Amino acid sequence: MRSSAKASEPAESVLSVKVIPGASRNELRWDAARGWVARIQAPPIEGRANTDLCEFVAREVLGLARASVWVKSGAASRQKRLGVALPPDELERRLQEFRR
């Protein structure tokens, strides 16, 4: 008899972030009015700010490999939705830990 269960797919979450490129240093902070705000050193030229944003959030904020965070939508906008290779509850836990 053949099983109808699908192979488990890796969990994915979405993180909405407002990005301010050209900052003096990389940082991510919670703003009660705007949500997550990222200041990124790289300028918004040829996708450099997007690349640096994903690397910063993956490595420094979430403790993940660079490939675990990507721009899901908003590549040309300051408001971005990042895809994150974590289940939603684990993403929330790590972000709460980062905020402390």
Q: pTM (2 decimals)?
A: 0.87
Report residue 51: phi and psi, to 5°. Answer: -60, -45
Give domain status of residue 3, yes or no. Answer: no
Q: Is residue 27 part of a domain?
A: yes
Answer whether residue 79 is part of any domain: yes
Confidence band for 10, pLDDT divided at 50, 70 and 90: low
CB 40 within 8 A of CB 31: no
Domain that holds residue 84: 13-99
CATH number of the domain where residue 47 is located: 3.30.1200.10
Residue 52: what pLDDT?
Answer: 98
Strands of the chain, DSSP E: 13-21, 27-31, 35-40, 69-73, 79-84
Question: Which tens digits make up the pLDDT trace of 47-66?
Answer: 999 999 999 999 999 999 99
**Which amino acid type is present at position 83?**
G
